[in-house]
Amino acid sequence: MDLVKRMFMGQLARLAAGAAFVPLASVAHAKINEQPPRRGGDPEKRWAMLIDLRRCIGCQACTVSCHLENDAPLGKFRTIVSQYEVEDEATGDLSTFFLPRLCNHCDNPPCVPVCPVQATYQQHDGIVVVDSDRCVGCGYCVQACPYDARFINEHTQTADKCTFCTHRLEAGLSPACVESCVGGARIIGDILDPDSTISKMMDEHYSDLKVLQPEKGTHPHVFYLGMDDRFIDRPEALASVWDVRGEDFSEMGYEFSGH
Partner 1 sequence: MNSPVIEILAPRYEIAWYPWAVQYFFLVALAYCSVWLALPGLLFGRNGRWAATARYALLAAMTTAICAPIALLADLHQPLRFWHFYAHFTSTSWMSIGSLLLPPFVFAVIGLAWLVWREPMLAWRERQDWTGRIARIATLGGWQTPHFAVRILAVVAAILSLSIMVYTGSEIAVVEGRPLWNTIWLPPLLLTTGMMGAAGLVLLLNRVAGPWDAGTDRKMLGVITLFGLLTAGVVLMWGMEGLFVEGSSIAAAIDSVRHEPHWRNTAIWGMLAGAVLTLAAGLMLWRAGWSNKPKILGPWILGLVALHMAWMARWVVLMHVQTVQKQTAGYSEYIVGWQSSGWGGVIGIFGLWLAVILIIDIFVPWRAALGGSTGEPRPAPLSPNQGVATHG
- 227 Cβ partners below 8 Å, 6+ apart? 53, 210
Assess 144 for contact with partner 1 (CB under 8 A).
yes
- From the number of C-beta atoms within 10 Å of its C-beta (0-12, 13-18, 19+), residue 68 rates as exposed
- The correct pick among 71, 170, 204, 243 for binding partner 1 (CB under 8 A) is 243
Q: CB of residue 178 vs partner 1: minimum separation in angstroms?
A: 21
204 is a site residue for partner 1 (CB under 8 A): no
C-alpha separations of 131 from 36, 111, 137, 157, 228 in Å: 15, 13, 11, 12, 35
Query: Using CB under 8 A, which of 42, 55, 213, 226 touches partner 1?
Result: 213
Site residue total, partner 1 (CB under 8 A)? 79
CB of residue 156 vs partner 1: minimum separation in angstroms? 9
Roughly how many angstroms between the first and final C-alpha of the chain, as a whole number?
58
Q: How far is the CB of 157 from partner 1 (least distance, A)?
A: 4
> Cβ closer to partner 1: 198 or 212?
212
Stretch that binds partner 1, among 48-56, 86-94, 176-184, 190-198 (CB under 8 A): 86-94
Q: Which positions from 22 through 81 interact with partner 1, judged by CB under 8 A?
A: 22-24, 26-27, 29-36, 75, 77, 80-81
Buried b (16+ CB within 10 A) or exposed e, 20-44: eeeeeeeeeeeeeeebeebeebbee
